[in-house]
């Protein structure tokens, strides 16, 4: 049995200080009916709690830690820049450096604005799209999560789905009525909405690879048709690649599926573990944003030098040319992830359990479900009790996975073949526990 005495004491105190003891809901493990380990430090593929337990980490701070924790290049760059001061609230060369790095991989982004969280990025992208089109409504997909701004907390995924509050109290009817929701992967549903209300719709926002109802992939041709129909009706197509950016492929889902959106939201990885996100896209839309245009958006700490530096260091590692004849960084992650999933599929089969395993580059997800999962409804039909048993058995064996089937897991450059072998052995035991 894991000894979590110190974590449990810390959690008891934290609950007197913060709602549910945490600063972001899923961290509380509430839906798993157990207490979370409190983390002391992390290095490479491992994370360590205050009781001294070591875990192989597939959460990676919910996505950002693609090069592994405390990567020496990132740490060194941060140490150096910190000596020059931690924030100026004034333009720096670092902001342009990160912008150029991002745009070199995302050519659909002609202009970019740095913000501090994915929530800000999606909220601001929609504001810009509304300003640009002069229309008020927008479409989101059921089970997609775009952060916690009011108008996007409608039929949301991630923690909102985990805790059964996809439509949060506190969001007014007035706000929610401009958000039109349709099922993911259902072409007929979005076609109908656009045919009927197209001239009132400013934007369609989508996770082109959805990671917040578990990992759900777009059906073949779905994104292409979405691109066509939005273009025909003058609707701004926003790809929220906060999670799948630099993961589904180096150039995100847009490169993997060959689609050019009008706007893109990025986050997580571009801050290398510090709070950064961004929105960007066509110049004519981005030039609506203040001070170039009238759509207001600002931030005291936006473009913060530490955050820019961590992002630059991380993206430099990701985009570095590989040695001759070797696969690049993203390809290596994809191969490692595939190896893990093949073994997990076999282990589940041996235990007599039917699961659905999904992969997009270095993202992966597992559903205890006999049937295909392609939208929120099919994802929610997965066996939550089986997942709970699996989750606890994995944690017990030092494998740190998200405490919800509605989350995605991530491979990093620091995961070794030994880590993967250990994970497979742990999964064999966990699947058996589920089967019993
Ligand atoms: N968009 C997507 C696709 C996300 O996965 C998330 C967070 O997980 C967000 C937006 C919100 O980002 P943040 O938590 O940085 O506000």
**Residue from 117, 118, 152 to probe ligand 1 pocket by mutation (most atoms less than 8 Å from CB):** 118
* 240 assigned to active site: yes
Say if residue 175 is in the same domain as residue 283: yes
Say if residue 40 is in the same domain as residue 101: no
Nearest CA to ligand 1 atom 5: 243
Say if residue 43 is in the same domain as residue 173: no
Say if residue 277 is in the same domain as residue 151: yes
Q: What is the ipTM of this complex?
A: 0.99
**Residue from 184, 243, 266, 365 to probe ligand 1 pocket by mutation (most atoms less than 8 Å from CB):** 243
* 132 assigned to active site: no
Ligand 1 atom at minimal distance to the Cα of residue 119: 16
Say if residue 53 is in the same domain as residue 77: no
Say if residue 200 is in the same domain as residue 262: yes
List CB contacts of 65: < 8 A, sequence separation 6 or more.
42, 57, 273, 410, 412
pLDDT at 164: 67
Catalytic pick from 268, 336, 388, 392?
268
Kindly report the CATH number assigned to the domain that includes residue 394. 3.90.1150.10
* Distance between Cα 119 and ligand 1 center (Å): 6
Q: Looking at 285, 319, 353, which one is the last position of a domain?
A: 319
**Phi/psi at 219 (5° precision):** -65, 155
* Distance between Cα 434 and ligand 1 center (Å): 31
Say if residue 283 is in the same domain as residue 166: yes
Q: Looking at 319, 348, 379, which one is the last position of a domain?
A: 319
pLDDT at 166: 67
Say if residue 55 is in the same domain as residue 94: no
Say if residue 165 is in the same domain as residue 290: yes
* Distance between Cα 241 and ligand 1 center (Å): 9
pLDDT at 159: 74
Per-residue pLDDT of the chain (436 residues), as tens digits, is 899 999 999 999 999 999 999 999 999 999 999 999 999 999 999 999 999 999 999 999 999 999 999 999 999 999 999 999 999 999 999 999 999 999 999 999 999 999 999 999 999 999 999 999 999 999 999 999 999 999 999 888 777 777 766 678 888 888 889 999 999 999 999 999 999 999 999 999 999 999 999 999 999 999 999 999 999 999 999 999 999 999 999 999 999 999 999 999 999 999 999 999 999 999 999 999 999 999 999 999 999 999 999 999 999 999 999 999 999 999 999 999 999 999 999 999 999 999 999 999 999 999 999 999 999 999 999 999 999 999 999 999 999 999 999 999 999 999 999 999 999 999 999 999 999 9
Say if residue 304 is in the same domain as residue 414: no
Say if residue 56 is in the same domain as residue 175: no
Kindly report the CATH number assigned to the domain that includes residue 132. 3.40.640.10
Nearest CA to ligand 1 atom 1: 146
Catalytic pick from 55, 106, 132, 145?
145
Ligand 1 atom at minimal distance to the Cα of residue 277: 15
pLDDT at 281: 98
* Distance between Cα 374 and ligand 1 center (Å): 20
Say if residue 214 is in the same domain as residue 160: yes
Ligand 1 atom at minimal distance to the Cα of residue 147: 11
Domain with 53 in it = 5-70+328-435
User: How many CB atoms lie under 10 A from the CB of residue 350?
Assistant: 12
* Distance between Cα 19 and ligand 1 center (Å): 20
Closest CA to 108 of 251, 295, 303, 268: 251
Give how many domains the chain has, as a whole number.
2
Q: Looking at 263, 298, 319, which one is the last position of a domain?
A: 319
* Distance between Cα 243 and ligand 1 center (Å): 7
Which residues, judged by CB distance below 6 Å to any ligand atom, belong to the binding site of ligand 1? Answer: 62, 117-119, 122, 145-147, 158, 207, 211-212, 240, 242-243, 267, 277
pLDDT at 161: 73
Query: Look-up: residue for tokens 């270095």?
Result: 362
**Residue from 62, 184, 238, 242 to probe ligand 1 pocket by mutation (most atoms less than 8 Å from CB):** 242
């Amino acid at each position: 049995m894991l000894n979590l005495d110190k974590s449990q004491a810390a959690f008891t105190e934290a609950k007197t200080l913060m709602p549910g003891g945490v600063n972001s809901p899923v961290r509380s493990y509430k839906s798993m009916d157990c207490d979370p380990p409190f983390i002391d430090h992390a290095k490479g593929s491992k994370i360590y709690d205050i009781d001294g337990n070591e875990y192989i980490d597939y959460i990676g701070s919910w996505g950002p830690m693609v090069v592994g924790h405390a990567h020496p290049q990132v740490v060194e760059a941060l140490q150096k820049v910190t000596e020059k001061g931690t924030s100026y609230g004034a333009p720096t060369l670092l902001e342009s450096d990160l912008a150029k790095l991002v745009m070199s991989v995302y050519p659909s982004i002609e202009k970019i604005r740095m913000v501090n969280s994915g929530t800000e990025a999606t909220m601001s992208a929609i504001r810009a799209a509304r300003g640009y089109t002069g229309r008020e409504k927008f479409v989101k997909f059921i089970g997609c999560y775009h952060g916690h701004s009011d108008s996007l907390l409608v039929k949301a995924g991630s923690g909102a789905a985990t805790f059964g509050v996809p439509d949060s109290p506190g969001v007014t009817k007035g706000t929610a009525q401009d958000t039109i929701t349709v099922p993911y992967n259902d072409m007929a549903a979005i076609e109908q909405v656009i045919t009927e209300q197209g001239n009132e719709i400013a934007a369609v926002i989508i996770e082109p690879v959805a990671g917040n109802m578990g990992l759900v992939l777009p059906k073949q041709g779905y994104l292409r048709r979405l691109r066509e129909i939005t273009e025909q009706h003058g609707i701004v197509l926003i790809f929220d690649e906060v999670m799948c950016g630099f993961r589904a492929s180096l150039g995100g889902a847009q490169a993997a599926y060959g689609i050019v959106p009008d706007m893109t939201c990025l986050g997580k990885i571009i801050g290398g573990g510090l709070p950064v996100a961004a929105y960007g896209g066509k110049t004519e839309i981005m030039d609506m944003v203040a001070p170039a245009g009238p759509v207001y958006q600002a931030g005291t700490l936006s473009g913060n030098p530490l955050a820019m530096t961590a992002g630059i260091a991380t993206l430099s590692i990701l985009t570095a040319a590989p040695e001759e004849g070797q696969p690049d960084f993203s390809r290596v992650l994809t191969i490692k992830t595939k190896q893990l999933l093949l073994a997990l599929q076999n282990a589940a089969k041996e235990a007599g359990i039917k699961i659905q395993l999904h992969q997009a580059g270095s993202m992966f997800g597992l559903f205890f479900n006999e049937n295909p999962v392609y939208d929120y409804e099919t994802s929610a039909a997965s066996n939550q009790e089986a997942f709970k048993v699996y989750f606890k058995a994995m944690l017990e064996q030092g494998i740190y996975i998200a405490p919800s089937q509605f989350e995605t897991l991530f491979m990093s450059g620091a995961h070794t073949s030994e880590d993967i072998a250990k994970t497979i052995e742990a999964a064999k035991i966990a699947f058996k526990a589920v089967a019993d």
